[in-house]
Amino acid sequence: MSGYIMWLRSFVGHKPLLQCGAGVIVENEKGEILLIKRTDNNCWGYAGGSVELGEKVEDTACRELFEETGLIADSLELFSVFSGEDTHYTYPNGDEVHNVDIVYICKAFHGEIKADKKEASEVRFFNINEIPQNISPPLVTPLNKYLEMRKTACSK
């Protein structure tokens, strides 16, 4: 959890927060995507997290990618922005959020994959036809939109 969000939580407890975050869908040369198995809800999702005060969203995306996977983004491409009821979520600890998720695609990266054991129990690439069913709830819509885009592009 970001320092800013932790600070806010010290005042509001578990009450709903509007949370701005950045996520990164990493695609390798085989067209597979990188997913992490989150330790907070035991679901799969892409790397991402909350924007800190004064931080650029792109910097958040790069920071979270490195922290959670060990990979360094060489370039990011804006995919889409997600908000609304699809991104509303209550974490297992009771913290409620309404996310504004700014999602990037990263096809150029370097580094060695290493799971941050605090946030991710596993990190690995998946074929887009073999994505796990247990996707973290606030990431379902963005991930489905990405997969639909990929499948549409492949059928042309």
Yes or no: say if 37 and 44 are a contact pair by the CB < 8 Å rule: yes
Whole-angstrom Cα distance, residue 39 to residue 127? 22
pLDDT 10s per residue in the chain (156 long)? 678 899 999 999 999 999 999 999 999 999 999 999 999 999 999 999 999 999 999 999 999 999 999 999 999 999 999 999 999 999 999 999 999 999 999 999 999 999 888 889 999 999 999 999 999 999 999 999 999 999 887 666
Q: Is 87 helix (H, G, I), strand (E, B) or coil?
A: helix
Closest alpha carbon to 82 in 98, 104, 52, 102:
102
Residue 67's Cα: distance from chain center in Å? 12
Domains of the chain with CATH codes: 3-155 (3.90.79.10)
Buried b (16+ CB within 10 A) or exposed e, 120-142: beebeeeeeeebeeebbbbbebb
